[in-house]
């Protein structure tokens, strides 16, 4: 990868079953994803063709489908699984993923994990 370009998806909100407490297992809560994905955009910048780009709509739809159908206890596990999907299915060499669980702790605006996976070439 020549350039160190990033494709971002910010504030992707998805409702899912997430949590370790019994009451959490019976409801759907919102998690929010913020993604930075390494991707050389130079070909797409020249061709103006989606085939040369990282299709952020496809990435978003795949993550929505996965997260909505999932039922993890910890956001750490869910974040890891999402990062693996991005790397393995979309060929992204590096991803920084922030997974938030707003309102999970009384008195806070947000709790989150921030992970980086892969290598920037």
Tell me which residues of the chain have a pLDDT lower than 50: 1
Which listed residue (4, 61, 98, 101) is catalytic? 101
**Please, are residues 68 and 14 in contact by the beta-carbon 8 Å criterion?**
yes
101 is catalytic: yes
Tokens coding 103? 């309102």
The pTM (predicted TM-score) of the whole model is 0.93
| DSSP code of residue 73 | S
Contact assessment for residue 34 and residue 9, using Cβ atoms and an 8 Å cutoff = yes
Which letter does DSSP use for residue 57 in this model?
H
Q: Tell me, what's the pLDDT at 38?
A: 96
Q: What is the largest CA-CA distance in the chain?
A: 52
């Amino acid at each position: 990868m020549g350039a160190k370009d990033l494709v971002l998806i910010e504030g992707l909100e998805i409702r899912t079953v997430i949590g370790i407490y019994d009451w959490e297992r019976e409801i759907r809560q919102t998690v929010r994803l913020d993604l930075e994905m390494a991707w050389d955009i130079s070909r797409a910048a020249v061709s103006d063709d989606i085939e040369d780009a990282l299709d952020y709509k496809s990435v978003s739809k795949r993550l929505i489908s996965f997260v909505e159908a999932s039922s993890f206890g910890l956001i750490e596990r869910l974040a890891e699984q999402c990062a693996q999907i991005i790397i393995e299915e979309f060929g992204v060499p590096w991803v920084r993923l922030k997974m938030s669980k707003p309102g999970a702790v009384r008195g806070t605006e947000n709790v989150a994990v921030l992970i980086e996976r892969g290598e920037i070439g």
